[in-house]
Structure 1
Amino acid sequence: MVMMAGVWMMGWMWIWPVFIVAGLLLIGFVVVRLVPGGLTYPTPPRSVGSAARRILYERSARGEFDEDEYRRRRGLWP
């Protein structure tokens, strides 16, 4: 009877490493989420240009005016 209990218990020995790894992953996830600035992506460097040109581009990207109006406002067309 003692032998059977030992063999049966060895069959469940794999579960403890799984619990430990899962616990470490959970702790790591919680720490990363709680740290300010965690998982942020670097912002691209600011392009050379004025703030007005950036605002003009953003408004054009939102669809406030078409490409012809964008070019006119940038001064590319007379």
Structure 2
Amino acid sequence: MRALFGLVGLVVVLAIVGLLAKKQLAATRAPVPALQTATGAAAPASAPTGTVREQSQQMQQQVKQQVEGLMQQARPMPEDEKK
């Protein structure tokens, strides 16, 4: 009887994992929206064009520019409450 409950539990867990995997795979096949640029930022092209390699390089360049821009901002320092 104990083995039967263990087997049923295992089947239920496998069914749940299978459903979650199916949902995840369906989500990865959904169409990806185009990259949105920050307002005021000058982008070389508003819509991705060219080959996949060119699009990848464009995305990498955009991320690099965003990171560099964030690194240039001053970090807020906490006020020292000790007197």
TM-score, scaled to structure 1: 0.40
> Larger radius of gyration, structure 1 or 2?
1
TM-score, scaled to structure 2: 0.39
